[in-house]
Amino acid sequence: MSESTEVIREILNTIHADPEHRTPALLLLEQGESRYLRDLKLNFSSILNSEYLSQKEIGLLALSIAVNERNDLMISFFKKFAAEHESSQEEIAEAAACASLLASNNVFYRFRHFTQKEKYSQIPARIRMQIMMKPVTGKEFFELMSLAISAVNGCEMCVNAHEDSLIKMGATEERIFDAVRIASLITSTGKIIF
């Protein structure tokens, strides 16, 4: 067995997937004996630990990104990971809901930002966002998930607004940075394993 195949099996075992599972992208890396597979493995394992986020928060944040990226393997893994670290079914559902809500917000506010027309800022959004008012995960953590999803989706206006809210709530820059780091690694892993 090649080193690449061995590393792929280790990654897939970590996420409780069939060790023989291959995506077209994973096959390219395996057939090319890519050194990147070692980076992918180490990057993914670094998601599971943080000085600034609890294991429960990591699970919920990662789940929200996996839902945003429509990655079934990651959704399954992080749903289980979140549940194993004391996340309730309501909190797990809210992580998925956050991804859905932010998908609409990111498109809408990115449009407003890109066009830079005052008129569009005056027209009501008419997007229902009640979940943001009393999130079961708490206001600060819901903002953190919202920021991470907005960073993945590339909404500058949303990133700035959520980051500002988090700082005002007392979140540290290190906590914010780590949430975005985790979101970036879930996204990059999801390009290869889905």
Q: Answer yes or no: 98 catalytic.
A: no
Query: How far, in Å, CA of 88 to CA of 21, rounded?
Result: 30
Question: Which residue in 158, 176, 179, 186 is the catalytic one?
Answer: 158
Two structure tokens written together for 164: 């500002």
Q: Answer yes or no: 158 catalytic.
A: yes
Q: Which residue, 38, 61, 39, is CA-closest to 49?
A: 61
**H or E, element range at 102:** helix 89-115
Query: How far, in Å, CA of 133 to CA of 48, rounded?
Result: 29
Question: Which residue in 8, 151, 155, 182 is the catalytic one?
Answer: 155
Q: Which residues contact 151 (CB under 8 A, 6 or more apart)?
A: 159, 180, 183, 184
Catalytic positions, written as ranges: 155, 158
